[in-house]
């Protein structure tokens, strides 16, 4: 059976996410991730299967608390995210899945899409009521209450805020327009674009450091410092070696000439499927000096973990706060070791990875 080329029905929250992520949100996101990560790890008593209990769970909690996709079971959210990602990005005609597997993934995605769509509708109605009615009344009360609290030397209260509410409170000129259907797709993308990719890169980085003891030692030393720049740089350099994917398939939207003016010049027609080698590009010696060397001090302007230019990840700033902090909270644990391999279970995402460490507290990590 010849499969038709799919078009993804997914819109990854981009129109609104960048507009509604404020600069001062980033430290708040990192603090939220830090608190959630520490709670999970320190409650694990030195033993953790990190995929189901950590690398997927922390992002989905962030989606609930910061993005505002609340009021639903986290396991159900993980299921929606998983099948949406799987079918949209790993069940295309070029993925060469067996016919039975291809159809099974489609069926699961359709089931989850129906459930998720119903949830998004109810979420938008509930949040819209809060934005239009409840929050206005609360704002007056909080303003008066805070004036009294300040006089008494107390900290002022803050109204509960999230990205979905900001979306619903955004106004557009008529020429632009932003129908509710498009807004709903953006809200859905906040979940689907956050969980599996984040889980995958966290697992990749932790596994990379554990497999390289000398680098693990340096990462531990960096992780316990209050200043996070050093451990952050080590995480991004590790992802150059172990990116979320070593390649991407793409389809040309128009005729395009590669290597124009060179001996390798070639013109490909619109509709051609091409393979872009992301990992190979990040080891190009014309861009990276001594590319086989682990060097956290590199210029990251050419780093492709989050894409580049028009294809840059719309959640880049959030990911750059969340992912290093998740790695940091794990990596400094005393005698951290893997007791299983990083197991994909014949799928596109890590599914199981067991870690052990000595369950002691290190006061230096904040």
Domain boundaries of the chain, sorted by first residue: 14-243+317-356
Q: Which run of H or E residues covers position 268?
A: strand 266-268
Q: 46-63: b or e for each residue (b if 16 or more CB lie within 10 Å)? A: bebbbbeebbbbbbbbbb
Whether pLDDT at 275 is above 70: yes
**Torsion angle defined by CA atoms of residues 109, 115, 116 and 117, in that order, rounded to the nearest 10 degrees:** 110
List, in order, residues 6 or more apart from 150 with CB less than 8 Å away.
Answer: 156
- Cβ count near 35 (within 10 Å): 14
The pLDDT tens digits of the residues spanning 82-115 come to 999 999 999 988 888 999 999 999 999 999 999 9
3-state secondary structure of 248: strand
Looking at residue 275, the DSSP 8-state letter turns out to be: E
pTM of the model: 0.86
CA distance 255 to 257: 7
Q: Higher-confidence residue: 153 or 231?
A: 231
Looking at residue 56, the DSSP 8-state letter turns out to be: T
The pLDDT tens digits of the residues spanning 321-359 come to 999 999 999 999 999 999 999 999 999 999 999 999 998
The two three-digit tokens of residue 12, written as one number: 């990854």
In a 13 Å sphere around the CA of 302, the CA atoms on its Cβ side amount to 15
CA distance 324 to 121: 33
CA distance 16 to 246: 29
- Cβ count near 342 (within 10 Å): 21
CA distance 46 to 51: 15
8 A C-beta contact, residue 131 and residue 183: no
Mean pLDDT of the 271-293 span: 94
Q: What is the pLDDT of residue 308?
A: 84
Q: Which run of H or E residues covers position 49?
A: strand 47-49
The two three-digit tokens of residue 269, written as one number: 């027609």
The candidate with the shortest Cα–Cα distance to 293, out of 210, 220, 214, is 214
Instruction: State which fold the 14-243+317-356 domain adopts.
Output: Cytochrome p450 (1.10.630)
CA distance 238 to 248: 19
Indicate left, alpha or beta for 273 from its phi (over 0: left) and psi (-120 to 50: alpha).
beta
Per-residue pLDDT band for 136 (boundaries 50, 70, 90) equals: low
Mean pLDDT of the 179-193 span: 86
The candidate with the shortest Cα–Cα distance to 42, out of 357, 339, 364, is 357
């Amino acid at each position: 059976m010849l499969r038709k080329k799919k078009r993804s029905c997914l819109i990854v929250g981009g129109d609104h996410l960048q507009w509604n992520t404020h600069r001062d949100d980033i430290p708040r996101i990192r603090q939220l991730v830090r608190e959630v990560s520490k709670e999970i790890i320190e409650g694990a008593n030195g033993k953790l299967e990190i995929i189901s209990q950590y690398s997927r769970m922390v992002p989905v909690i962030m989606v609930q608390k910061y993005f505002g996709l609340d009021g639903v079971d986290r396991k159900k959210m993980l299921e929606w995210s998983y099948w949406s990602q799987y079918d949209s990005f790993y069940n295309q005609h070029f993925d060469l899945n067996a016919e039975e597997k291809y159809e099974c993934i489609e069926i699961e995605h359709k089931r989850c899409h129906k459930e998720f769509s119903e949830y998004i509708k109810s979420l938008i109605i509930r949040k819209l009521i809060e934005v239009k009615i409840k929050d206005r009344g609360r704002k007056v009360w909080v303003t008066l209450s805070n004036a009294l609290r300040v006089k008494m030397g107390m900290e002022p209260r803050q109204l509960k805020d999230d990205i979905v509410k900001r979306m619903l409170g955004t106004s557009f000129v008529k020429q632009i327009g932003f129908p509710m259907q498009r807004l709903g797709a953006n809200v859905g993308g906040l979940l689907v674009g956050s969980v599996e990719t984040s889980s995958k890169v966290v697992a990749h980085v932790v596994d990379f450091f554990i497999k390289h003891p000398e680098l693990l030692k340096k990462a531990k030393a960096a992780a316990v410092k209050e200043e996070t720049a050093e451990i952050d740089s080590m995480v991004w350099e590790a992802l150059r070696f172990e990116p979320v994917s070593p390649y991407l398939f793409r389809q040309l939207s128009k005729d395009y000439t590669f290597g124009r003016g060179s001996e390798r010049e070639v013109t490909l027609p619109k509709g051609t499927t091409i393979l872009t080698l992301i990992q190979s590009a990040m080891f190009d010696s014309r861009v990276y000096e001594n590319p086989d060397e682990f060097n956290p001090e590199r210029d990251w302007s050419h780093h492709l973990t989050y894409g580049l230019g028009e294809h840059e990840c719309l959640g880049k700033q959030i990911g750059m706060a969340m992912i290093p902090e998740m790695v940091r909270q794990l990596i400094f644990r005393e005698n951290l070791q893997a007791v299983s391999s990083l197991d994909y279970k014949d799928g596109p995402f890590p599914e199981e990875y067991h870690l052990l460490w000595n369950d002691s507290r290190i006061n230096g990590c904040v």
